[in-house]
Amino acid sequence: MLPTVSPNLWSVMPAAIESDPVPSLTQRRSIHILGVGGPGMSAIASALVGMGHAVSGSDVVESAVLERLRSEGVVVYVGHSPDNIGVNVEALVVSTAIPEGNPEIIAARARLLPVVRRTALLPAIAAERRTIAVTGTHGKTTTSSMLALILLGAGLDPSFLIGGELRQLGTNAKWSDGEWFVLEADESDGSGFSIDHEAVIVTNIEADHLEFHGSFENLYRAFERFVASTSGPVVLCADDPNTARLARGMKAITYGLSNEATVRIVGLEGSRSGVDFTVVVGGEELGQVHVPVPGTHNALNACAAIALALQLGVSFDDCVMALATFGGVGRRFEPKGDANGIVFIDDYAHLPTEITAAISAGQDGDWERLVVVFQPHRYSRTQTLWQDYADAFEDADLLVLTGIYGAGEAPRAGVTGQLIVDAVAAAHPEQAVQYVAERESLAAVLASELRSGDLCLTLGAGDITTLADEILVLLNQGRAL
């Protein structure tokens, strides 16, 4: 019997730490951040330092992110210890992933320091600027990054806080003197929807994080309430049925390939070097755009950023110039290297629609073979969505699946990567699929399987991101081919 979804998955998740009140950020504070090396927490640290606060933080392993934070002025500790909470620290910031029993939380509680969740701190940061919220199931990190780059290029000196690193800037957050703040608003637990904002982009709405929202309709209503609370421009994707549904009930600027879009993409062409398209508004061609990252989804992300920027008075020419320099975002179709005629690209895609988009971008490169390696993310998500992956890999020449990256979840009986293998095999019996259950075995298997002319595309939100580096080491050592 195939596994079924528990009617109350959220009940088996660890209880989240309740947030204490957030200290006022209008005066200089000394703040310690637990798990500061993560994408969300490192962005918070960078923003707080830019605001003039004294920031320290800790994480379990050394990383390039910690080195960057040190260069920005953050005091960083490797390992968790009560001693990391300095005598001047006034508040501890934690994420929902940190258990209450962490020694630094215990130390902070003993000193009666406020323990503040990241999600409670974000509204206080956003309150200091005119906030543009970018949200949606897919594409919000790239869209936020493109918009921030456009506003920077236009001389508006924006602040931004994003879930991925803008590769050309080497950071995921910056606090500046300009009036605008570009914020990636997370829908996963509804916390991003508590932020006051003046403008909003919604890229799309699909069924995800239902362990929190309970049903798709609840998720949709959460988006609807958030958009309705926007005091200024609302930008929605005309190509996504659910954001198009939102647009029908309110005054909004829409964008996309659809003939119904306010800001339309026409003449779309893709290649290994990126996408080119023309923007049409009200029947008038504004001009051509080149974005040096491939994929139709990136054309849509760019169009969303253009649509919002135009509402802020940015010229179309400034949009074009900024997007032409876009260097991409970490883990979003990120080149990892090449060896023996094999090219490696890594992408965060872990939901079916994201996977289809990443593979489509790979197809634009006209490679001899497109070899896709996928690591499912979370047992709960796999248990809920395994059948939805059946068609996502259809255009891969070879699909290699590995075991599930739990992301802190305990394994569930009968829930493995084999579920997705079986779904793909049933829908596309002719497709070449391999299942390598052990993540540790992947590099050796791929090093012997790959050949000159291949694009190896690694997909997933877990530690699959290091696989390309592991394979490159083997290839460069001459252990394969």
The terminus-to-terminus CA distance of the chain in angstroms comes to 42
184 is catalytic: yes
- Choose among 173, 192, 186: nearest CA to 43: 173
Q: CA torsion angle for 265, 266, 271, 272 (degrees, to 10)?
A: -10
Q: What's the burial of 410, exposed, middle or buried (CB within 10 Å: 0-12/13-18/19+)?
A: exposed
C-alpha to C-alpha distance for 153 and 168, rounded to whole angstroms: 13
C-alpha to C-alpha distance for 29 and 126, rounded to whole angstroms: 17
- 222: Cβ contacts below 8 Å, ≥ 6 apart: 187, 190, 193, 213
Beta-bridge partners for 337: 344
User: Are the beta carbons of 188 and 209 closer than 8 angstroms?
Assistant: yes
As given in the structure block, the two tokens for residue 307 are 């649509």
Alpha-carbon Rg of the chain, whole angstroms?
Answer: 22
- Catalytic residue (choose from 104, 119, 135, 140): 140
- 117: Cβ contacts below 8 Å, ≥ 6 apart: 16, 17, 18, 19, 93, 94, 95, 96, 191
User: Are the beta carbons of 2 and 419 closer than 8 angstroms?
Assistant: yes
> Residue 374: enclosing H or E segment and its boundaries?
strand 369-374
- Start-end of H helices in 312-433: 316-323, 352-363, 379-385, 418-427
C-alpha to C-alpha distance for 244 and 258, rounded to whole angstroms: 10
CB atoms within 10 A of CB 157: 13
User: Are the beta carbons of 336 and 472 closer than 8 angstroms?
Assistant: yes
Neighbour-count burial for 281-314, b at 16+ CB within 10 Å, e otherwise: beeeebeebebebbbbbbbbbbbbbbbbbbbbeb
The string of DSSP letters for 228-288 reads HT-SS-EEEESSSHHHHHHHHTS--EEEESSTT-SEEEEEEEEETTEEEEEEEETTEEEEE
- Catalytic residue (choose from 104, 165, 184, 211): 184
- Catalytic residue (choose from 141, 254, 356, 384): 141
Q: Provide the phi-psi class of 472: left if phi over 0, else alpha when psi is between -120 and 50, else beta.
A: alpha
- Choose among 457, 460, 462: nearest CA to 471: 457
**Nearest 5°: phi and psi at 253?**
-95, 125
Residues catalogued as catalytic? 140-141, 184
